[in-house]
Structure 1
Amino acid sequence: MTVPEPRRIKSSWWADPGDRVLAVMLLAPLSILVALIIVYPVLRLFQSSLYNHSLTSGVPAEFVGLENFTLMLDDPTFWSTLWNTVLITLLTVPGALVVGLAMALMANLPFKRKWPVRLSLLIPWALPLAFAGLIFAWFFHSEYGIVNDVLRRLGFGTVIWFNSPGWAMTAICLTIIWKTSSFIALILLAGLQTIPRSLYEAAEVDGAGKLRQFFEITLPLLRPAIVVALIFRTITALQTFDIPYTMTAGGPGNSTQTLAMYIHQNTVSFLDIGYGSALAVIMFLLSMLVTIIYLRLIQAKER
């Protein structure tokens, strides 16, 4: 007597999907969400930059191609705001990295009570940007500011910070460094926690001092965290708006006006959507260029 073979139950693809189908099913919701909140707005931004669309003119939007971008070449305000943005980036990113690294190393010391030290790192980071700008605008006030009061007590003359382009930019950069160094410190502190203590103990046995341990153990192993911190800090530096806006409103003149402030002026104050979108495209491309450079440097070092 022959035993009949068991009947095979054919399962549908959604009940028992393969690895590739399962990956597509899991990534599909995230892909749709990214397309809705990132890809679509960016495409709309590029589309708006190709139109002459001013809400104050009362005429419908007109397709002008790359005319908005060619207008930038003869726009001195665009070049000055672009230079101010690049200058703030070049000054504040290395400054925040140095201060943030020092703060992270201090927070990583073997304190008995570590939480007050590490909590102090969160305060500048959690403070709203506009609020930080208002606080430091008071600090650098020429008459009753704390900075000038300290300078007078030390025997120096007072400085009218916001009447000079150089001093105004200095005050803004110092404020940005104070505000953003805590963010870098938090990232670097997380990286310091991953370095094994046994490496330092072995280095001490070999007679390596603290300075040599820092350059041969801490910095090389902290490099991935430093790169991540630099990527985020550089992109946000290129988009600087709140602190210069609240401290100087771009003054004196437009000597501290950033590209983000110029975009806000064209789109919100002047209601020139087309030219403002073209300026925003330049900022987007600049941010993408910086990100690509950092990623290329990471790939080159990994090889």
Structure 2
Amino acid sequence: MTTQTIATSDRIEKAQPGWVKLLDMSDRALAVLLLTPAAVLLTLIIVYPVLRLGYTSFFSLSLTSGLPAEFVGFENYQLMFTDPVFWETTWNTVLITLITVPGALIVGMALALLANLPFGVQWPVRLSLLIPWALPLSFAGLIFAWFFHSEYGVVNDVLARFGIEGVIWFNSPNLAFAAICLTIIWKTSSFMALIILAGLQTIPRSLYEAADVDGAGRIRQFFEITLPLLKPAIVVALIFRTITALQTFDIPYMMTGGGPGTSTSTLAMYIHQNTVSFLDLGYGSALAVVMFALSMCVTAVYLRIIRTKE
């Protein structure tokens, strides 16, 4: 009986059309088939441009010289070590990252906790978090450039009302850098707040009720319940915020243009200057490769931290 059943099933399988056999595939083959379009798209818009960027960085390619591209190997990368502007802009980028990422995290955490309070009407508080996030970076830079204007800016006007003499913010490297960092923290803290607020919504209220029964105060609840359960959301926010901080361009470009001198220039601004203004695609590509590698290293560190804690 079993032999007849097997023979019957073999005949049915042979009688099936070819398109039916194609649809009757294993889970592995189906997964490969469904992921192939996404893989091809990512290859076209991410992998190929990155590979092309790395390839161009090994050439001397200046559109203003009129000369054809010439393979120079690692000469563009060697030039970076003797380029003081590269080191200054890289340091400015790292410093902006070290200041604005923790600052945005602290402010964003406070805003998220405020938005999570049991208000009677919560939508105005949560809507206020969306406004800075939705505002384009260039607009934020222009707005705060007006805020810190030495003659008719809001900041100097407020200082004058308190009897403090106004300052010329963008003539001092330190003051201009501080103004840029404050602007970036204001702009990006709402993004951190939205991610943290989403994490707060997933924490069960029963944990806080049990802590109240045990006599735990609000501060202890925050460090024993809220903060540990928010770590995944915080790490995700830090990854995105750090990568965008390393690529900072719009706000300092609109506020100071990199000045005075190059004291507020970032690595992204230096890449833009070489590729768009000077049309030196070879050296600009090498700078972009360094920024890409720096972003990947930071991401790898965060992912390593996540994997270690798991």
Category of TM-score, reference length = shorter chain: over 0.9
Name the structure 2 match of 1:41: 49
How many Å separate the matches in 1 of 2:169 and 2:60? 39
Shift in Å, 1:157: 1.9
How many Å separate the matches in 1 of 2:273 and 2:23? 55
Unmatched 5+ residue regions in structure 1? none
1:93 aligns with 2:97: no
Show structure 1 runs of 4+ deviating over 4 A.
Answer: none
SS of 1:100's partner is helix
**Residue among 67, 74, 85 paired with 2:75:** 67
How many pairs are equivalent? 300
Unmatched 5+ residue regions in structure 2? none
How many Å separate the matches in 2 of 1:140 and 1:38? 38
How many Å separate the matches in 2 of 1:209 and 1:143? 49
Shift in Å, 1:49: 0.3
How many Å separate the matches in 1 of 2:134 and 2:177? 23
- Give the helix-richer structure, 1 or 2: 2
1:82-121 matched pairs, under 5 angstroms: 82-121=90-129
Kindly provide the amino acid, as one letter, of the partner of residue 257 in structure 2.
A
Shift in Å, 1:122: 0.5
Name the structure 2 match of 1:208: 216
Kindly provide the amino acid, as one letter, of the partner of residue 136 in structure 2.
P
**Residue among 174, 182, 189 paired with 1:174:** 182
How many Å separate the matches in 2 of 1:152 and 1:89? 32
How many Å separate the matches in 2 of 1:181 and 1:261? 23
Name the structure 2 match of 1:142: 150
Kindly provide the amino acid, as one letter, of the partner of residue 65 in structure 1.
G
1:238 aligns with 2:272: no
Shift in Å, 1:155: 2.0
1:145-224 matched pairs, under 5 angstroms: 145-224=153-232
Shift in Å, 1:15: 1.4
Shift in Å, 1:298: 0.8
How many Å separate the matches in 2 of 1:40 and 1:273? 17
TM value normalised by structure 1: 0.97
Name the structure 1 match of 2:13: 9
How many Å separate the matches in 1 of 2:138 and 2:264? 16
1:131 aligns with 2:135: no
How many Å separate the matches in 2 of 1:15 and 1:140? 64
1:291 aligns with 2:291: no
